[in-house]
Structure 1
């Protein structure tokens, strides 16, 4: 399963390189099911892996002129505040065993995976269906952009998710960015959120296998270069529905494994 996990790690970078998001949607299930890492610890691994990979991608987009720094900072600052609140206060004070539904013990780990699966399903629907999201907003709404950043910070903090599938539509609608600019700016925001969240985990004493973390990160970075190269050859908008179906299947699988299988 480990070798399959290493192979699957390439998809993390490819996804980020192609559509500027989706990396964390793949990272958590890969870490939990293929590398057998505890779901709460997997969120820490995910923050670093996705963050470092997004940094490489954002730099490539910066060279191409697709990184819009002002929009990124308006989004990132409130996002970081809510992220640190969740990582430093909410998660450490959440008990491991929450409640029972009949004979089913709802634990913190199972709740993390179930919420993540539900988020995956909603994200997949937004990727599958056609939208007019390529149309630019008439005016930049930095207040709305900051508010959405605050919400995405909760997602990033609780689930170790970069939130690219939420960030990109927000940048298109509220910052008036084109698709490629939204992807480049999204990667920079993901980098800021993820690395600060990971740094907070290290300060709080989270124990990680750094050798495994480095290997997966390097493989994901390789995937990022592949994804960036493919993005120049393939229309990313055509890949989004296909990726959406893949995410939908994974979300349904996680729900069935974490809930129905244990009933």
Structure 2
């Protein structure tokens, strides 16, 4: 009973993060699975992929219904990460637990610092004014100065796929800044598009682990995922009411504490 309650509570936080920010859920899911629910790092990474896949797909539907998903850009990101995600998933099974924990703590710290740091003017919170008709090309939701550097987008997508495969994190906390800075999307479309990339990467990494030696404890993962899916809807509504900077910094502070806890646990 206690385990189920802990899984439900942790799932709620993960769902809020994914629904509101388009990322950050998996870097909360893995430490919750390890420290609250007693999973090993490898088992937590696999379970996290199941949780993130279900939650991201649900949140994606809501953002797509609101017209906040840039499908072509998301598809390019996701396609670039397919092979690295598969290779990362295969490699993960051969890495020792301490190295996975260290790698995850490092990724969580980078994610936290990125969330806490102030975004460039006009790229966070409310979108700047739309460009005049005829002066704004590409898909709706792009900034007037949107940049489409295909090599940069492909490189970012490949890196995110590798991180997802090895550590079991969706990579949304890195995808959103890349979509804003490299492609030039506004914050809300970047969040929605990130969910597409997260869902595809998680699915591919999970398939790469299928038949492996790490089973999924469905008695814990099922309620965790259910709570996350329900909370993702609230996260989407939360994102429309609270400034993106405030949300991102709050989750960033939590992530920074998680990273410090994991590093301390390795040291002692």
**Residue 127 of structure 1: aligned partner:** 115
Q: Is this contact kept in 2: 1:78–1:146, CA < 8 A? A: yes
Farther off after superposition, 191-200 or 125-134? 125-134
Q: After TM superposition, give the deviation of residue 205 of structure 1 in Å.
A: 5.2
2:139 aligns to what? none
Please, what TM-score do these two structures have when normalized by structure 1?
0.89
Pairing of 1:75-224 with structure 2 (within 5 A) = 75-88=77-90, 90-94=91-95, 108-132=96-120, 134-135=122-123, 136=143, 137-204=145-212, 206-224=214-232
CA contact (8 A) 1:83 1:156 kept: yes
The count of residues paired between Structure 1 and Structure 2 equals 246
Q: Quick check: 19-28 or 109-118, which moved more?
A: 109-118
Corresponding residue to 1:37 among 30, 39, 51: 39
Is the 2:53–2:203 Cα contact (8 Å) retained in structure 1? Answer: yes
- Please state if 1:242 is matched with 2:257: no
Pick from 69, 72, 82 the counterpart of residue 70 of structure 1.
72
TM-score normalised by structure 2 residue count: 0.87
Assess if the C-alpha contact under 8 Å between 1:140 and 1:175 holds in 2: yes
Shift of 1:116: 0.9
CA offsets per residue over residues 138-187 of structure 1, 9 Å max, x none? Answer: 42112210111111111101110011111011111222211100000000
Deviations 1:97-148 (A, max 9, x none): xxxxxxxxxxx11111111111111211111121217444542112210111
Distance 1:236 1:174 in 2: 19
Distance (whole Å) between structure 2 residues aligned to residue 20 and residue 246 of structure 1: 16
Please state whether the residue corresponding to 2:240 is helix, strand or coil: helix
Q: Would the aligned equivalents of 1:145 and 1:174 in 2 still touch at CA under 8 Å? A: yes
Change over 3 Å in CA distance of 1:202–1:222 after alignment to 2 = same
Whether the 8 Å CA contact 2:147–2:182 is kept in 1: the answer is yes
SS of 2:210's partner is helix
- Structure 2, gaps ≥5 residues long: 124-142
Task: Write the distance in 1 (CA, Å) between the matches of 2:173 and 2:226.
Answer: 23
Aligned to 1:24: 26
Q: Is the 8 A contact 2:11 2:226 kept in 1?
A: no
- The alpha-carbon deviation at position 233 of structure 1 amounts to 1.9
Q: For structure 1, which runs of at least 5 residues remain unmatched after alignment? A: 95-107
Distance (whole Å) between structure 2 residues aligned to residue 165 and residue 148 of structure 1: 12
Distance verdict in 2 for CA 1:92–1:230, change over 3 Å: closer
Shift of 1:244: 1.1
Tell me the alpha carbon deviations over residues 14-73 of structure 1, each in whole angstroms, 9 at most, x when there is no partner: 001111110011100011111101110111100110111000111111111111111011
Moved more, 199-208 or 172-181: 199-208
How far is 1:91 from its partner?
A: 2.5
Question: Are the counterparts in 2 of residues 47 and 161 from structure 1 also a CA contact under 8 Å?
Answer: yes
RMSD value over aligned CA atoms?
1.6
The answer for the alignment partner of 1:9 in structure 2 is 11
* Cα distance between partner residues in 2 of 1:139 and 1:111: 37
Q: Distance in 2 between matches of 1:170 and 1:176?
A: 9
How far apart, in 2, do the equivalents of 1:14 and 1:81 lie? Answer: 29
